[in-house]
Amino acid sequence: MSITANEVLDAKGLACPMPIVKTKKAITNLEAGQVIEVQATDKGSTADMKAWAESTGNQYLGTIEDGDVLKHYLRKASDIEEKAETKYEDVLNLDELRNKVDGEESISVLDVRESAEYAFGHIPGAVNIPLGELEERFEELNKDEEIHVICRTGSRSDLAAQKLSEKGFKHVKNVVPGMSSWEGQTEGNQ
């Protein structure tokens, strides 16, 4: 599976501290919520990326080993997302979703996170259309189906649910809070 990022940073061949120094600089040029791929060869960079992201509030998504190159994926912190009020009223909590996912009937889950977030773990069978692409791609979805929209914390999915509702989708549910608290099965690069 190829993972798309808004920015690719080449930090190959650089020793600590340079991969982090460069990442810190590069991430300031991103918009909140965008994803950066950092390519590094320093083995210690994985632990440092995780710890650095945690200390700065950015989101460490995961690392893929590609030969000698470590590809780290990080998503720039987004304040709005953390505290945004949700407006879309038809919500479903994670337990209810889990019962449905584990149940016999197949259900439709729309994951509106960035593709890199999705790549490192999503509900099996979930379809990925990042929030930013929904305007162009909503027609890929079936209006007659019940659609469970999920993101990381419930705010992007809230916006997505509103949008789908405007487009005439009648059976949309916003799943709250989101993948950050999901304890059911996932698939993807872990």
Examine residue 24 and tell whether it contacts another protein (CB under 8 A): yes
Q: Which is nearer to another protein, 47 or 80 (CB)?
A: 47
Examine residue 69 and tell whether it contacts another protein (CB under 8 A): no
User: Residue 50 CB, nearest distance to another protein (Å)?
Assistant: 8
Examine residue 8 and tell whether it contacts another protein (CB under 8 A): no
Q: Which stretch binds another protein (CB under 8 A): 13-21, 57-65, 94-102, 138-146?
A: 13-21
Q: Are 149 and 85 in contact (CB under 8 A)?
A: no
Q: Which is nearer to another protein, 26 or 127 (CB)?
A: 26
Query: H-helix or E-strand containing 111?
Result: strand 108-111
Examine residue 52 and tell whether it contacts another protein (CB under 8 A): yes
Q: Are 59 and 75 in contact (CB under 8 A)?
A: yes
User: Cα angle vertex 29, ends 25, 32, to 5°?
Assistant: 115
> How far is the CA of 88 from the CAs of 2, 40, 62, 146, 158, in angstroms?
32, 41, 30, 15, 6
Residue 94 in tokens: 């994670």
Determine which residue in the list 7, 12, 17, 86 makes contact with another protein, applying CB under 8 A. Answer: 17
Number of residues that bind another protein (CB under 8 A): 14
User: Residue 169 CB, nearest distance to another protein (Å)?
Assistant: 44
Radius of gyration of the chain (CA): 17
- What's the distance, CA 41 to chain centroid? 25
Other Cβ atoms within 10 Å of 57 Cβ, number: 11
Q: Which stretch binds another protein (CB under 8 A): 17-25, 78-86, 114-122, 152-160?
A: 17-25
Catalytic residues: 16
Cα–Cα dist 47/40, whole Å: 12
User: Residue 147 CB, nearest distance to another protein (Å)?
Assistant: 40
Q: Which is nearer to another protein, 17 or 188 (CB)?
A: 17
Examine residue 182 and tell whether it contacts another protein (CB under 8 A): no
Residues that bind another protein (CB under 8 A): 15-18, 20-21, 24, 43-44, 47-48, 51-52, 55
